[in-house]
Structure 1
Amino acid sequence: MSCWTDPQCLLFMGSAMLAACAIAIWIAVKAVTTPLPQIVRYEDEKYYTDPVSKSKQPFPSINDSPRIALSVIVPAYEEEQRLPKMLDEALEYLENRSQKDKTFQYEVIVVSDGSKDSTVQVALAYSKKYTSDKVRVLNLIKNRGKGGAVRMGMLSARGRQLLFADADGATQFSDLEKLEVEMRKLTPPDEWENPAIVIGSRAHLEEEAIASRSLFRTILMHGFHFLVWLFAVRGGIRDTQCGFKLLTRSAAHHLFNLLHVERWAFDVELLFLAQSLKIPIEEVSVNWTEIEGSKITPVWTWLQMGCDLFLIWFRYTIGAWDITRFGSKNKKSK
């Protein structure tokens, strides 16, 4: 009897072919994938401009010991319209707090992600008003994506704790205090060497949001949540995408040296890495308002994120990406 007419033989051949394809894919992915991210930092991106003296000053490194209490990282891609409102609210809060508590020193790092509009000029005006010790502008030469912008800001920060906050100002900035309360439960404020993360969450607003969304967008949202749970983040975390996350310096140092994804799904990889490394995570409800001007296009962006979620799971599963170590040798300059 020919193998082509024997069901058991055909089943064996099919299984062998699938196994061979899987091995070939594994070899190909391993061959073209680096275990650690190749973090490229152009020479001009190593400096910020003091708008008063017009001089260029070098950014510090996340490898250094902290010098201030809090760094706020604001990724901004063509945000000349929405950025002022966010900075006004954030800086009013931070200034009032620093006046009441002289030990509370802060900085805001606005990371322009290759913006072609006046984002840099808008941010520099705040740097001039508040001084470059409090507001610094990191102007990326090329667009990296939100995750890449947040990473570069984190690697340039001085704080014991580091917050990244979206430039649209959708989250009420004073809710930082809610995150800090939970952070103190995980680690004392001075223990910046203890890795921990507290994330803002909009999950409590989900029913209200669903009521105002179309059925199609609601299906997309639930589909994305399912993929996040299936491929990456579990442990009861309900909102991975809220742009209001607080990290200790140690957590930022570990995670942003390991992070590969630089676009919208970077939050998911960040939390996946944290869970894999047993870094404590707490989720806190925050006040959130939808702001017009979002850069997200519902179908295309969510398709990209879905592909990224699968790749995060696949590459870590086969060991193409490394979650056990990191170092400084992977940084390149141009």
Structure 2
Amino acid sequence: MTDSDGVRVSVVLPAYNEAATIEDTVGRTIAALEGFLPRNGFEVIVAEDGCEDRTPEIADRLAAADDRVRHVHSDERLGRGGALERAFREADGDVLVYFDTDLATDLDHLEELVESIRSGEYDVATGSRWMPGREADRPAKRGVPSRVFNLLVRGVLRSDVRDHQCGFKAMSRDAFRALIDDVEDDHWFWDTELLVRAQRSGLAVTEFPVNWEPKGDTKVDLVRDVFGMGSQLLRLWWQLSVQPRITPRASFTAGLLLVAVAVALMSTYIDFGAVIAEMRRADTTLLAVATVVYLLSWPLRGYRYRDILRELGFTERTGFLTGAVFVSQTGNLVLPARGGDAIRAYIVKVRRGIPYPSGFASLAAERVFDLLTLAGLSGAVLVGYAASGRLGEVVTALTDSETAGNAGWTAALVAMGVGLVAVGAVIGIVLSARSDSNHIRSAIARVSTDSYGKAVADVLERFVGDVQRVGGDPIAFSRVGATSVVIWVLDVLVAAIVLAAFTVELDTITLLAVCFFAVSVGNLAKVIPISPGGIGLYEGAFTAIMVGLTPIGVSTALGAAVLDHALKNVVTLVGGVGSMLALNVSLTTAVEETADVNETEALQE
């Protein structure tokens, strides 16, 4: 193959605190390249990654002495992958090569690496320490983790490459351009992600054995970096194998199947014919009243959300925010894992320019207030039962109910755990908001000090900072808290009115007390996003508590629970559809676009 004038090959040397070796590495690299390339056919780029020693000074001197050497400097650490990506973007060559500066891989293989790309036969090439007949002799503390990691990548990510982390790779510029925008990691996992995405994209990838000898000690932290690479492996598996299959239709179908399974299990000990008969005799006038009462809570939800956003520095109309809440809650009804929450963040972002971190922080603040209120309401009922000497009835109802089996006890445990977490979260938010200390970055630094860890810390700091603003202002905290109490009191009143529609023989105080407890525990239990809208979870918890604490029969209790939940869901769906039309928002479009939201986009806001 003949060479035209100009750089054809760019070799990048990722350097972090390499003052002791970088000069020798650059010299040996140039000598190796001169063995098979013309003098002006290559360049050597020192990708200096925020070094703390004399590496930048040495790199500048080498670049000044030889016009084939360039120094790409970074004031702060980008991570190994980040430094490589930046240097490749500035490189002039058509063939992009990189290898570790310790020269653990024998440079006699450099020509084979370069020519595999220059020939046009392959798009990506990598050396391998684990191919049969050329397996590297590595210390156990480095060899065992490497073996395990490569086996996981081959199995989980369906890669054909044997050695993903060998620091001896090359690719064409076209391949780099095709892959780099999708590669998210910027540290040690960068190599692996590049190779896996190249294979998934149909690019021609080759792996060939190399002579490799470990030089010095590895810069990989076998606890911190291995943990980080493991999380990246799971992230890439999710993006490549799971996320493409989570379409709105698949999510909706999965949700329906979960509900069907729950109903099928319930049918083994519940006579649904009797339940339907009970529902038919419910007083329709009272059901209409319950509907009106529930409608009154929705403007309050928009008002509360307005107060939360105002503390974050965003002033919006209550009407718009009520519509956004309607749409997001509708999304939660049809999507598992509370997928509607992300839709609300999307709506306020595209319609009002509120950054995603602030959108998610406002949702977190709202959720914490909901959970705190529910925990407070159920706790108040328990205190009342204890004061009247009837706490034993509650325990018996939850543990020995023949109707619900262990459902009531399970719901109570989940509710108790969620409630304690909510209370702890509020206390932590309030206390941290009044403190000048910031423990987020220091905590993350214990796990990761690379640029990926810093990016995560930046997102979490902004997220927690936004939540702290709401918790740190006593007036805002009180106002949002009071609104939350009114919202959930109305929710409980709806359940009480629905139950009254079945003409149950309970005095008003008992009816309200049991409804407060059943609704609170039912909503706390459905926090675990097993089914869309918590369908099945809420009904099970409500029925178990109602049957255990009152003389109401199973059919009546379940019928009331189903009607109560259905009434609320119908109002939500109608309001959601109307809000989508008013705001010109498509639920399916929102789901598809929120799936593309990632940390990088959030940080760019």
* Shorter-chain TM-score range: 0.5 to 0.7
1:221 aligns with 2:160: no
SS of the residue corresponding to residue 14 of structure 2 reads: strand
1:74 is aligned, of 2, 10, 13, to: 13
- 2:123 corresponds to 1:196: yes
2:102 equivalent among 168, 172, 193:
168
Q: TM-score, length-normalised on structure 2?
A: 0.38
- The residue aligned with 1:13 is none
Q: Partners of 2:114 and 2:135 in 1: how far apart?
A: 27
**Alpha-carbon offset, residue 226 of structure 1:** 2.1
User: Which AA in structure 2 matches 1:201?
Assistant: S
Instruction: Looking at secondary structure, tell me which structure has more helix per residue.
Output: 2
1:111 aligns with 2:111: no
RMSD: 2.9
CA contact 2:154–2:162 (8 Å) conserved in 1: no
State the partner residue of 1:145: 79
Aligned to 1:243: 167
The aligned counterpart of 2:334 is none
Offset at 1:124?
A: 1.4
Quick one: which amino acid aligns to residue 188 of structure 2? Answer: W
C-alpha offsets along residues 88-117 of structure 1, whole Å, 9 cap, x if unaligned? 21012224544xx46x51111111111111
Other structure's SS at 1:275 match: helix
Q: Is the 8 A contact 1:155 1:256 kept in 2?
A: no
Question: Which residue is 1:256 aligned to?
Answer: 180
Higher alpha-carbon Rg = 2
Instruction: Please list the CA deviations of residues 29-57 of structure 1 after superposition, one character each: whole Å capped at 9, or x if unmatched.
Output: xxxxxxxxxxxxxxxxxxxxxxxxxxxxx
1:45-92 per-residue CA deviation (whole Å, 9 max, x = no partner) reads: xxxxxxxxxxxxxxxxxxxxx952100111111111122221121012
List structure 1 runs of 4+ shifted beyond 6 angstroms: none
Paired residues of 1:232 and 1:268 also in contact (CA < 8 A): no
Give the number of the structure with larger relative contact order, counting CA–CA contacts within 8 Å between residues 6 or more apart.
1
State the Cα distance separating 1:315 from its structure 2 match: 2.9
SS at match of 1:257: coil
Mapped to 2, the partners of 1:174 and 1:218 lie a distance apart of 23
- CA deviation after TM superposition for structure 1 residue 182, in Å: 3.2
Q: TM-score, normalised by structure 1?
A: 0.66
Whole-angstrom distance in 1 between the partners of 2:147 and 2:125: 23
How has the CA–CA distance of structure 1 residues 184 and 115 changed in structure 2, closer, same or farther, with 3 Å as cutoff?
closer
**Matched-pair contact (CA < 8 Å) for 1:255–1:273:** yes
* Contact 1:85/1:169 (<8 A) preserved: no
Give the Cα–Cα distance (whole angstroms) in 2 for the partners of residues 256 and 154 of structure 1.
10
Unaligned runs of 5+ in 2: 247-591, 594-600
Quote the offset at 1:181 in angstroms.
4.2
Superimposed CA distance per residue, residues 165-189 of structure 1 (whole angstroms, 9 cap, x where no aligned partner): 11111122231111234335643xx
Hey, what does 2:412 align to over in structure 1?
none
Cα distance, 1:269 vs structure 2: 0.7
Name the counterpart of 1:306: 230
Give the equivalent residue in structure 1 for 2:376.
Answer: none
Cα drift, residue 141 of structure 1: 2.3
- 1:279 aligned to 193, 203, 213, which one? 203
C-alpha change, 1:259 and 1:142, in structure 2 (3 Å) is same
Q: Give distance in 1, aligned partners of 2:103 and 2:29.
A: 9
C-alpha distance in 2, partners of 1:119/1:258?
31
Q: 1:217 to 1:127 in 2, by over 3 A?
A: closer
For the 8 Å contact 2:32–2:110, the answer to whether it is kept is no
Alpha-carbon distance between aligned partners in 1 of 2:222 and 2:203, rounded to the nearest angstrom? 31
- C-alpha change, 1:150 and 1:91, in structure 2 (3 Å) is same
Distance 1:122 1:89, change over 3 A: same
- CA-to-aligned-CA distance 1:172-211 (integer Å, 9 cap, x gap): 2231111234335643xxxxxxx7011111114775525x
Aligned match of 2:137: 209
Q: CA deviation at 1:280?
A: 0.3
What letter is aligned with 2:137? Answer: A
- Encode CA deviations 1:232-285: one digit per residue, 9 max, x unaligned: 2522x1111111111111011112232110011111110111011100000011
CA distance in 1, matches of 2:88, 2:143: 33
- Give the counterpart of 1:270 among 194, 210, 227: 194
Corresponding letter in the other structure for 2:25: M
Q: CA deviation at 1:231?
A: 2.7
Aligned positions, number: 245
Letter in 2 for 1:288: W
Query: d(CA) in 2 for partners of 1:253 and 1:301?
Result: 27
Q: In 2, Cα distance between the equivalents of 1:154 and 1:233?
A: 27
| 183 and 207 in structure 1: CA distance in 2 versus 1, 3 angstrom threshold | closer
Same amino acid, percent of matched pairs: 28
Shift of the alpha carbon at 1:293?
4.0
Given that 1:259 and 1:270 are in contact with CA atoms closer than 8 Å, whether structure 2 keeps it comes out as yes
> Can you give the 5+ residue segments of structure 1 that lack an aligned partner in the other structure?
1-65, 188-194, 323-329
Cα drift, residue 148 of structure 1? 0.6
- Partner SS for 2:137: helix
